[in-house]
Structure 1
């Protein structure tokens, strides 16, 4: 089913919690890693569809800092998938820039080298930026930003009275892109799981039961359709938003 979308109101930044890979695989009598492999195919599909629709930033929650506590073989398989997926020509074929955010100190030298190479290789692509949150924790990100700001104050580069919301945003790992307009979580869970906690203060949230490997282009369109039916008020009243719209 194709959804009739207002192409003038496509969210410029979509963030996704790609949940349900393991459960999708286990329901099919397969190992969890089979679900992660299938999830990579979904990344390819959704990336192409986002480019087609005109989305400018797609941020994917790929691996959290808490995921390091998973079984060793599953962690190894996930890191192996990161390596192989970065070989994908999807970035160049679709004019997609690649960026990564997260605590890379725990990631192997081999994976870090490939991440750097992919960022450099795709640096001039301009249709869309895909941001992979890898070894990512929003609480850690905010803590690191706080440390950075404190150091700037200590060094005399910043006065404590000048610290504001913009200062914090500028010191986050995500300082190169706008906050998400739409956050999608697949897999049926109704939580944020330590993902972009500062950045989604006014994002529209969309939860669906579909596991990530089964998430299709039409599912993305449905989420965007839901987004377009909402009025984004940012603390204002309905009447104020309507008045502003009529003035344009």
Structure 2
């Protein structure tokens, strides 16, 4: 579905032709997804390949190749703002971003890596190799995941299976390198880690000379076996939509067939890319097409909405003043504006325990879960109020590890509301970076996946950082931190006698979260309830009697105003604080 614009139709047809010609296996996989999603997949794949082609063009010097990649990225940045392009591949990518409301700013780092690749790459160990490969692949795969989510089909990948997901992509990258070994060697590139080459003495020299030897034969056998293990990940598609599972399972089958071809190539591996036979490929694809067609026929897939400008979609990190404006928060119905707080008196981080939802509902003869439903409006109000007053960090305590003790209906309603909020995402047009803090254990897979997707799509925003604590416990956080420190001590990387507060802070699950300046709790209770114990060590505590559904942004402003009247001493005598701090108005 690309509309009636002839230039746009031609752009997508070019992407389709490029995909089919340059990577028939990728094209076959895209044919397994619903037809409405295929043009976007062609555009994403072709754009990634076009950048690789610019970086690999050996008719130009490395500096010129890097400059061309940089120009391509800069042009895309400008075109995303205007919604059009004179380059057909970028035109298809821009249209995909606008049409599906994709935030492709997360591709910036991956594209920059390609620009660096123009100067050549060498890897000493598997760790640096993985960082490079994942930096290249993960953002593009995440775009496809976001695309499916926009179409109403969440790609369920549990956070506790993140290592499975990443290892699968390691297998994709290694298979690709082994397949293209002849082309890379011809260009003087050897994209294998020295750690692996060292296990087979002489293999590096033999590869550079394209000489088949016992060392190179042993190396190829070892690497194909490793790639085969990485792409064979049964847990990857467990619990996933059957259509998506078919695509990924077929992808794994095709990768294994490709590795069989690499193993069988012998010395010819140095002269031409090996490919599976037509019969082998057809044997894998025929049943996959039937399974995918059946799965998608039973699924309602959302068609792309009308094109709307994506003013927040940029690739480069511009100075804040030069970035396109986000939507301003809606004004408070009363017309009241936030107080003017001097910058040096503003808290950096406010954390809120949103208490009293259930009691608010019970006072009105309603089920407890109706209080949580009503409390959503108060949460939005706090975000609006934080943006208006200029707060940098707001953390909301939504669901604790202890909340699993509550009634099943109440828990189910809370999780259903979370899922609805994450899918509808009414904060999308605001300058808000979204983060989740907590454990994946016991949370529904679709909620986890949506949280991860929202984190990824907003990670480059620089306004308010909104952290939602879901399935979070403070003691659990400290226990996990102690476990991480113990692992480093056991590995010899850390001296237990020299562990400092800085070491502890760096091993927290959210090491970049600033200390809490103000902890506010509603609901007429005066305790912190296992909430951010490390970060609230020096927080000002503020308790109010209002139940959470009764609050709005003005209560946040009152809390911040109260904070400005507190003396922040951090253990210093009052006279010292008075002499060094500006006087309160």
Is 1:144 the equivalent of 2:480? yes
Q: Is the 8 A contact 1:13 1:56 kept in 2?
A: yes
CA distance in 2, matches of 1:85, 1:229: 35
Moved more, 202-211 or 161-170: 161-170
Kindly state the Cα deviation for residue 221 of structure 1 after the two structures are TM-superposed. Answer: 1.4
User: Counterparts of 1:155 and 1:183 in 2: how far apart (Å)?
Assistant: 37
Match of 1:55 in 2: 391
Looking at structure 1, the residues matched to 341 and 433 of structure 2 have their Cα atoms a distance apart, in angstroms, of 25
Distance 1:162 1:61 in 2: 33
- Label 1:210 to 1:37 Cα distance change in 2 as closer, same or farther (>3 A): same
Q: Distance between the aligned counterparts of 2:357 and 2:407, measured in 1?
A: 15
Match of 1:77 in 2: 413
Contact map agreement 2:338 2:385 (CA 8 A) in 1: no
What is the TM-score with the length of structure 2 in the denominator? 0.41
* Structure 1 residue 190 corresponds to structure 2 residue 190: no
Aligned to 2:76: none
Partner of 2:342: 7
Q: Find the aligned partners of 1:160 and 1:90 in 2 and give their Cα distance.
A: 46
Deviates more, 1:226-235 or 1:117-126: 117-126
Higher share in helix: 2
Q: Distance in 2 between matches of 1:100 and 1:232?
A: 29
CA contact (8 A) 1:3 1:218 kept: yes
After superposition, the Cα gap between the structure-2 partners of 1:147 and 1:102, relative to the gap in structure 1 and judged at 3 Å, is same
Aligned equivalents of 1:132 and 1:62: distance in 2? 6
Counterpart mapping for 1:118-129 below 5 A: 118-129=454-465
Q: In the aligned structure 2, how far is the partner of 1:4 from the partner of 1:148?
A: 43
Rate the CA distance shift 1:56–1:3 in 2: closer, same or farther, 3 A.
closer
Partner Cα distance (1:98, 1:214) in 2: 24
Deviations 1:145-198 (A, max 9, x none): 001100000011111122111111111123122111100000001111110111
Aligned to 2:495: 159
Relative to structure 1, the CA distance from residue 41 to residue 59 in structure 2 (aligned partners, 3 Å threshold; closer, same or farther) is same
- Is the contact between residue 13 and residue 179 of structure 1 (CA under 8 Å) also seen in structure 2? yes
Distance 1:80 1:122 in 2: 22
The corresponding residue for 1:240 is 576
Of residues 25-34 and 141-150 in structure 1, the stretch that sits farther from structure 2 once superposed is: 25-34
Structure with greater Cα Rg? 2
Distance in 2 separating the partners of 1:7 and 1:34: 39
- Corresponding residue of 1:209: 545
Question: In structure 2, what is the Cα distance between the partners aligned to 1:214 and 1:176?
Answer: 32
Tell me which of the two structures has the higher relative contact order, counting C-alpha pairs closer than 8 angstroms and 6 or more residues apart.
Answer: 1
Answering whether residue 543 of structure 2 is matched by residue 229 of structure 1, we say no
Structure with more strand by fraction: 1
Query: Does structure 2 conserve the Cα–Cα contact (< 8 Å) formed by 1:14 and 1:180?
Result: yes
SS of the aligned residue for 1:46 comes to: helix
Give the equivalent residue in structure 1 for 2:447: 111
* Structure 2 residue ranges without an equivalent (≥5): 1-335
Residue 64 (str. 1) matches residue 407 (str. 2): no
Q: Partners in 2 of 1:114 and 1:206 — Cα distance? A: 32
CA distance in 2, matches of 1:125, 1:211: 31
> Deviation at 1:242?
2.4
CA deviation after TM superposition for structure 1 residue 206, in Å: 0.2
On the 8 A contact 1:16/1:185 being kept in 2, the answer is: yes
1 CA distance for matches of 2:425 and 2:419?
A: 13
- Which string of whole-angstrom CA distances, capped at 9 and with x for unpartnered residues, describes residues 31-50 of structure 1? 11111011111111110110
- C-alpha distance in 2, partners of 1:20/1:209? 9
> Contact 1:3–1:222 at 8 Å: present in 2 too?
no
In 2, are the aligned partners of 1:145 and 1:171 still within 8 Å (CA)? yes
